[in-house]
Amino acid sequence: MTQAEVHRAGDAPAKVDLQQGETYYWCACGRSAAQPFCDGSHQGTGLAPVVFVASKTETVFLCTCKQTLNPPRCDGSHKS
């Protein structure tokens, strides 16, 4: 299967409160209606979410433009 294009889901990062030890599924395809997290809309695209476990309880900024080079976190790429 060929990979579908990644969609730009937003023009600014999403501020999210993470809980230590929780597993999260960051949407990498840009199609989720539940940004910045996966809602299963990537099915059939060949793309998949980035799965991560929060190492501590903290507030973070997660990428929604899907151009970050440091997923799932915003690296400022939405400005370019």
Site for ligand FES, rule CB under 6 A: 27-29, 31-32, 38-42, 47, 49
Q: Please say which residue, 38 or 63, places its beta carbon nearer to ligand FES.
A: 38
Give the C-alpha separation, 11 to 53, whole Å: 25
Q: Please say which residue, 20 or 43, places its beta carbon nearer to ligand FES.
A: 43
CB of 47 to ligand FES, least distance (A): 6
| Sign (positive or negative) of CA dihedral 59, 62, 68, 74 | negative
Q: Is the separation of the CB atoms in 30 and 72 below 8 Å?
A: no
Per-residue tokens: 21: 């030890």
Q: Please say which residue, 31 or 63, places its beta carbon nearer to ligand FES.
A: 31
